[in-house]
Amino acid sequence: MATVDGMAAIRETFFQECAEQLTEVEAGLAAMDEGTADAETINAVFRAVHSIKGGAGAFQLDRLVRFAHAFETALDLLRGGKIALSETLLKTMFHSNDALADLVAASRGGGEVDERRMDALYQKGNETARLLRRLGQLGEMTAHCDASALPPIDKLDPGGAYLSWRIELTCDEGPAAIEEVFDFVVDDCELTIVSRQEDAPRSEDEVRVVSPDSPLAEAPRSDVAANSPEPAPNRSAAIDAARPAAEKPAGDHGKSEPASGATIRVDLDRVDRLINLVGELVINQAMLSQKMMEAGVARTSGIDTVLGALEQLTREIQEGVMATRAQPVKPLFQRMARIVRELAEETKKSVRLRTDGETTEVDRTVIERLADPLTHMIRNAVDHGLETREARLAAGKPEQGEVRLSAAHRSGRIVIEVSDDGGGINRAKVRAKAVEKDLIQADAQLSDGDLDNLLFLPGFSTNSTVSSISGRGVGMDVVKRSVQALGGRISIASRPGLGSTFCMSLPLTLAVLDGMVVSVADETFVVPLTAIVETLRPKKSDVHGLGVESRVIADRGGFAPLIDVGRELGCRADPADPLAGVALVVETEISARCALLVDAIHDQRQVVIKSLEANYRNVPGIAAATILGDGRVALILDVDTIVANCSRGAFASAQVLAAAS
Amino acid sequence: MSNASATVANEFIAFRVGTQEFCVDIMSVREIRGWTPATALPHAPPYLRGVINLRGSVLPIVDLAQRLSFPRTGATQRHVIIVVQVENQLIGLLVDAVSEILSQATDAIKPMPEVATDSVKSFVRGMLAIDDRMIGLIRLDAIMPPNIETAA
């Protein structure tokens, strides 16, 4: 069993490495696309693909090996300057990388491979005719194809290698020149070069590996012979290329170093454990300081200096440890690059994705959970944001649209922006749609910003035709919810004719959260700051009882349900006096606005999130726990659940009241 | 010890709840610490006193007296929390005092007499008879509330 487990672990490592290699390839191709590539870039891409092939061979992932090989061969031609970098080639390369990623995913056990696209790619790989043509340039050549190994057509693997070639070449070059022709396939076929006198044994050219259709379709063409330079019969050689050799040894894992230098792989659990301990250290340090102050030993004794240094150190350790969980957003952005390419094809638009700040680092959980909303936004930008080619030209813009994706650190948060240079939000259309969908009153006075924000309402979609890409009416509201679930905020800025920008501001880590420390019936709770829209002190005239249990509070001309947090969580039996407390107006996905009644607000601070489920279980109304400076546990409220629990009664009656007023 | 000759010896930590003595297998005990005020959990059964901070993780505290249907413990700093591991979770048992470590053969554990009420029976696996003392062995996996949705 141990060996099976060990193998599974190695396999897992291989796939992790594949992911890195694919990133490397994507980066290299992007550099080529931008014209900033040098010889090393192509080498790096080549090595990455080669590593994938090597690893795949060790795990007998034949399809992956075959494809990676074809890709690698093409890259090698490029590397050797044998083919020139053209736009078409680059496009194919990008597709190849996508296909390679699909294959890796399929090999890992998930994802379907788009075979149709693969076929097209196989054709761009090794080509027998090219090899023969190059040989023909060396001297006079006769080539014999041995098709005896061809299986019956029903057993034929279109990508298999069945043909062998015997090539007689008369030239004045040494064997080295001939070897050079086979430079890029030599790893994968058996190549024997012998003098003419010797008998050339049966040979088989591996080139057939990459041919998608009948292997006979690519028989040597007549121009091979015609290209021969003047005969020089003083030397001759028979070249024997045979069936692909076994994969390159797994040891040839020539892993290209990432630009950031040496890295090690660490189990996530260990990192999380370390983060936990450091969090504890920070709390302990705070408690120590507090106790010292209380004991009155500070100031004179120099202890405060030492304590200050300790505080500085703990903070630095915490930042350092947190940083180990941080990863650059680059892989995420590169996934988006692929989505843009595919969408551009689907929508027949010409799109260029520009990325900025790819090295910005953020917690890996944030990255993982950002993928879906970001995909949505990118799709929206290409599908809805950018105009058609014709419309762009008519508006005097370049035919190629541009989508920008940028990441940056700003005041302890990460800001990710998706912008397009399209037509901007059509506010008249948005308004008409919102009225049609009964989301706003026909005569509602709304600012441009308010109109733009209507996009985030559930069930809103302006595109009258529902395309397969976006516009199923589950667009931006889902994005907004996912961003909020991450403790983030999202906003839109749009200028007619110039494009739109979506800006997401997210916490750097999910391990800490900005919270408001409040008290309810002698208990301390933390309310996530992202949920709170405003706080207000209820006045007697604002609060109205509704039935036996529920109350509402006047809020911006309407009524919002007033939720007594203390009663809801069972901290107290009697309803709290709203006039003595503070109302936190929150926005949730269920109801637009809702007021949470608490006794007092104490503080606003960053808290370290601790799981309740680890040793207990999920508690309704509680999102997680945290540890405050005094070492005690405080619970973090799950605003959505609390509102949902109350909404059945109170929210319904508030709506009745609002409708009546 | 009376059973020193027995081949398989197990160690137990004995503690006091009210006037009675109970014990748990020492292998499931992670640490013993003093009482600190717990943060109450909403929607929790009354014997669950809340959660405390155990070096960065959140530890639920069960008032063992109340769980065994004795009166609620008026916890002070002299009270003790025994941190035990049940499956993959850590829980804290609030008890009056830890008395000693017992070394007993496994066959010294006697089944519960039939007279015992259901509430005690479900939390006590067996009895250890040492001299004239009767010590109940706590069934740890029954201490926490069954994992059903407690939401109204």
Instruction: Of A179, A171, A282, A314, give the one whose Cα is nearest residue A229.
Output: A171
**HSE-up (13 A, CA, CB side) for residue A113:** 22
Closest in A280, A570, A615 to B89, CB measured: A615
What is the model's pLDDT at position A467?
A: 46
Provide the chain A residues 226-285 that lie in CB contact (below 8 A) with chain B: 276-277, 279-280, 283
Residue scoring higher pLDDT (A658 or A161): A161
In a domain, B132, yes or no: yes
In a domain, B151, yes or no: no
List the single residue in A with minimal CA-CA distance to B152: A645
Counting the structural domains of chain B, the total is: 1
Cα angle at A79 between A351 and A39, to 5 degrees? 80
Q: What is the mean pLDDT of residues A620-643?
A: 85
CB contact under 8 A, B39 and A635: yes
In a domain, B131, yes or no: yes
Cα A419 from chain centroid (whole Å): 17
Residue scoring higher pLDDT (A141 or A635): A635
Instruction: Of A139, A127, A217, give the one whose Cα is nearest residue A172.
Output: A139
Cβ atoms of A132 and A220 within 8 Å: the answer is: yes
Which residue has 């300790």 as its token pair?
A310
The torsion of the CA quartet A61, A63, A65, A66, rounded to 10 degrees, works out to 160
Closest in B51, B56, B91 to A279, CB measured: B56
Chain B contact for A286 (CB, 8 A cutoff): no
What is the model's pLDDT at position A243?
A: 39
Give a three-class secondary structure readout of B35-55: CCCCECCCCCCCCEEEEEEEC
List the single residue in A with minimal CA-CA distance to B147: A617
Beta bridge partners of A166: A144, A240
CATH architecture of the domain with range A512-660: Beta Barrel (2.40)
The DSSP H or E segment spanning A449 is: helix A448-453
What is the model's pLDDT at position A116?
A: 47
- Pick from A318, A608, A610, A615 the residue to mutate for testing the B interface (most B CBs within 10 Å): A615
Q: Which of A281-290, A383-392, A598-607, A613-622 has the lowest mean pLDDT?
A: A281-290
Count the residues in chain A: 661
Checking if the pLDDT of A134 tops 80, the result is no
Chain B closest CA to A285's CA: distance in Å?
13
Domain boundaries of chain A, sorted by first residue: 2-122, 128-242, 269-327, 329-507, 512-660
Confidence label for A461 from pLDDT (cuts 50, 70 and 90): low
Residue scoring higher pLDDT (A648 or A613): A613
What is the model's pLDDT at position B143?
A: 86
What is the model's pLDDT at position A239?
A: 43
d(CA A419, CA A404): 5
Give a three-class secondary structure readout of A482-534: HHHHCCCEEEEEEECCCEEEEEEEEECCCCEEEEEEEEECCEEEEEEHHHEEE
Which residue has 């993780």 as its token pair?
B57
- Pick from B31, B49, B52, B57 the residue to mutate for testing the A interface (most A CBs within 10 Å): B57
Checking if the pLDDT of A241 tops 70, the result is no
Which residue has 């050079």 as its token pair?
A180
What is the model's pLDDT at position A247?
A: 35
From the CA atom positions of chain B, what is the Rg in Å? 16
What is the model's pLDDT at position A250?
A: 36
Checking if the pLDDT of A125 tops 60, the result is no
What is the model's pLDDT at position A119?
A: 46
Q: Give tens-digit pLDDT for A424-458.
A: 888 888 888 888 877 777 777 777 877 888 888 76
Return the beta strands (E) in A161-208 as ranges: 164-171, 190-195
Q: What is the mean pLDDT of residues A359-367?
A: 84
Q: Give tens-digit pLDDT for A54-74.
A: 778 777 777 788 888 888 888
List the single residue in B with minimal CA-CA distance to A625: B58
Q: Give tens-digit pLDDT for A23-33.
A: 888 888 888 87
What's the mean pLDDT when you consider all of chain B?
A: 84
CB contact under 8 A, B42 and A619: yes
d(CA A495, CA A465): 23
What is the model's pLDDT at position A561?
A: 86
What is the model's pLDDT at position B30?
A: 94
Percent of chain A with pLDDT over 70: 73
Dihedral over Cα of A584, A588, A593, A596: its sign: negative
Q: Give tens-digit pLDDT for B91-144.
A: 999 999 999 998 888 778 888 777 666 667 788 888 888 888 889 999 888 888
d(CA A477, CA A484): 10
Cβ atoms of A550 and A544 within 8 Å: the answer is: no
Checking if the pLDDT of A508 tops 90, the result is no
Dihedral over Cα of A511, A512, A518, A524: its sign: positive
Closest in A568, A632, A645 to B39, CB measured: A632
Checking if the pLDDT of A405 tops 90, the result is yes
Confidence label for A127 from pLDDT (cuts 50, 70 and 90): low
In a domain, B64, yes or no: yes
Q: Which domain holds residue B90?
A: 9-140
In a domain, B4, yes or no: no
Sequence-distant (≥ 6) Cβ neighbours of residue B50 within 8 angstroms: A633, B38, B39, B40, B41, B44, B60, B61
What is the model's pLDDT at position A207?
A: 35
Q: Give tens-digit pLDDT for A183-200.
A: 655 555 556 666 664 443
- Has domain A329-507 been given CATH number 1.10.230.10? no
Q: Give tens-digit pLDDT for A511-549.
A: 777 789 999 988 899 998 888 888 989 888 888 887 777
Q: What is the mean pLDDT of residues A162-167?
A: 70
What's the mean pLDDT when you consider all of chain A?
A: 74
Confidence label for A82 from pLDDT (cuts 50, 70 and 90): confident
Chain B contact for A615 (CB, 8 A cutoff): yes
Sequence-distant (≥ 6) Cβ neighbours of residue B62 within 8 angstroms: B47, B48, B49, B91, B92, B93, B94, B143, B144
What is the model's pLDDT at position B121?
A: 77
d(CA B56, CA A610): 8
Q: What is the mean pLDDT of residues A238-242?
A: 40
Confidence label for A466 from pLDDT (cuts 50, 70 and 90): very low
DSSP, collapsed to helix, strand or coil, labels residue A641 as helix
In a domain, B152, yes or no: no
Question: pTM here?
Answer: 0.54
Checking if the pLDDT of A465 tops 60, the result is no
Q: Which of A204-208, A610-614, B31-35 has the lowest mean pLDDT?
A: A204-208
CB contact under 8 A, A569 and B39: no
Chain B closest CA to A545's CA: distance in Å?
23
Beta carbons within 10 angstroms of residue A407's beta carbon: 24
Q: What is the mean pLDDT of residues A384-401?
A: 86
Checking if the pLDDT of A210 tops 50, the result is no
CATH: 2.40.30.30, 3.40.50.2000, 1.10.3210.10, 1.20.120.160. Which one for A2-122?
1.20.120.160
Cα angle at A77 between A74 and A78, to 5 degrees? 90
